[in-house]
Amino acid sequence: MAALGRSIGMAAGLGAAFLLAGLSRADWETDRLAEIPSVVQPPLAEEGQPAADLPPADPPPADCHVTLPPAPTWTRYGYAEALIMGRDNQSFNRPLLVDDLGTTTYLSSQNLQFPFGGGVRAFYGEVGCDCRGWEIGYFGLYNQVASATTTSAAAGGPLYLPGALGPLLDPSGADSATFTYRSTINNVEANVFHHFLRWNPYREAWLEVDWLTGFRYVNVDETANLGLICCGGTEAPFYRVGTNNNMFGAQVGGRARWNWQRWAVECWGKAAILGNAQRQFQNPVISSQDVVLRDTVVSTGVAPGMIADLNVSTIYRLTDVWGIRAGYNLIWLGGVALAPNQFDFNDPTVAGSGKLLQPNGSIFLMGANLGLEARW
């Protein structure tokens, strides 16, 4: 719940800053095109005053007839982008490899750092004459992998898993050990929005604003594996766990876009409160002597979660329809059952061993997007 509270606080603060920056100094109206004065009107005659007695009207300012950039007239839009994202986990800082006494930690779950990984994002939407629109979108980050290897030579002694499980899994200790952590994230959303458009004289740009509400689904699928090698490579016991998170719920957000002749800047902020149907599994634990210490274990649960994401992108228009997009993203996902949090190093012969589901991890993603958009 602490991670969820931090997620809500971050989303609220950043979302408020985004909306205030985008909507300040603007009086909204429901028409898509705001009226733009082009001349200075002469004073009106009071009742009973001859028009000839009126003073001459002031001449219009020199820039009165400046040509404005064309107003956006699109009714459909779509874009597809490549994502390059880094990742930081808020997981338990638990030991994974220790010495024979269990007093010195050689590797912990927070020692792993995910390299930047790739993914895609695509959206399509439409807006009608009543200024109401809809959109559907998807993003995915595929097979992010973090790994670390430790040897007994570097550690100065044999390697063991912590707790009662370590000596049972490999009584003589391991010569080397590798920890591998894999994760895949898929997100689908559908939104409806109200669209506003007006000329913003302060930035000399057409300003579009959308207020969004909709439905969001996020799936996080992970595995974590501790593999040991001992006795010159003749024995290789391992311990493998995995999780699956199905998160769904309602979201709200806002989007603003400033349009000039060739350039545009777009930013959005969205947040969703989610319910998370979680599942964790533990593969059979088999010792170096081929003794089954624990059979397959599966447990399920439900927990609250949240996702909040921010994006700022710059667009260069190649034609009236096509443009290039490049930007930066921040995404926070809370209330997630992370795979490394599910390791249970207690005595595997005790009833209930391996069945505890740990639901309160979180993921912070940051990185760039680059792609094409079309508006027609």
Closest CA to 82 of 342, 367, 376: 367
pLDDT of 309: 97
Instruction: Give the structural domain span for 229.
Output: 2-17+78-375
Q: What is the mean pLDDT of residues 82-87?
A: 96
194 phi and psi angles, rounded to 5 deg: -105, 130
Calculate mean pLDDT across residues 228-256: 89
Handedness of CA 5, 9, 15, 20 (dihedral sign): positive
Q: Which two tokens stand for residue 198?
A: 């007006």
Is 217 domain-assigned?
A: yes
Is the alpha carbon torsion for 342, 343, 346, 347 positive or negative? Answer: positive
> Per 3-state DSSP, what percentage of the chain is helix, strand, and coil (rounded to 5)?
10, 55, 35
pLDDT score for 313:
98
Average pLDDT, the chain: 84
Q: Is there a domain that residue 106 lies in?
A: yes
pLDDT bracket for residue 69 (50, 70, 90) = confident
Cα 150 from Cα 1, distance rounded (Å): 34
DSSP per-residue string spanning 23-40: HTT----SSSS-----SP
Most confident of 114-118, 235-239, 252-256: 252-256
pLDDT tens digit sequence for 5-21: 554 455 445 454 444 44
Residue 38 lies in a domain: no
Residue 120 lies in a domain: yes
In a domain, 312, yes or no: yes
**Confidence band, pLDDT 50/70/90 cuts, at residue 170:** confident
Q: Read off the pLDDT of residues 38-58 as tens digits, 9 standing for 90 and up.
A: 434 444 445 555 545 545 545
Q: Residue 41: inside a domain, yes or no?
A: no
Higher-scoring residue by pLDDT: 41, 186: 186
Statement: residue 244 has pLDDT above 50: yes
pLDDT exceeds cutoff 90 at 213: yes
Counting the structural domains of the chain, the total is 1
> Taken in order 113, 117, 120, 121, is the CA torsion positive or negative?
positive
pLDDT at 128: 92
Q: Of the segments 33-37, 133-137, 144-148, which one has the largest average pLDDT value?
A: 133-137
Query: How far apart (Å, rounded) are the C-alpha atoms in residues 114 and 335?
Result: 20
Q: Which residue did the predictor score with more confidence, 40 or 137?
A: 137
- Nearest partner of 89 among 363, 365, 367, judged by Cα: 363
pLDDT in tens, 138-155: 999 998 999 988 888 877
Examine the pLDDT at 178 and tell me if it is beyond 80.
Answer: yes
In a domain, 63, yes or no: no
Question: For residue 42, what is the DSSP state?
Answer: P
CA–CA dist 107, 224 (Å, integer): 14
In this structure, is residue 29 part of a structural domain?
no
Q: Give 255-276 pLDDT, tens digit per residue.
A: 999 999 899 999 999 999 999 9
Q: Which stretch, 107-111, 189-193, 348-352, has highest mean pLDDT?
A: 189-193
* pLDDT tens-place string over residues 281-300: 999 998 888 889 999 999 99
**What is the pTM (predicted TM-score) of this model?**
0.81
How far is residue 60's CA from residue 39's CA, in Å, rounded to a whole number?
6
Residues 6+ apart with CB under 8 A from 29: 196, 198
Give residue for tokens 């669209």: 195
Q: Please give the full DSSP string across 234-269, using - where no structure is assigned.
A: TB--EEEEEEEEEEEEEEEEEEEEEE-SSEEEEEEE
Of residues 129 and 374, more confidence is placed in: 374
Residue 140 belongs to domain with CATH number: 2.40.128.90
pLDDT score of 368 more than 80: yes
> Residue 93: its pLDDT value, please?
79
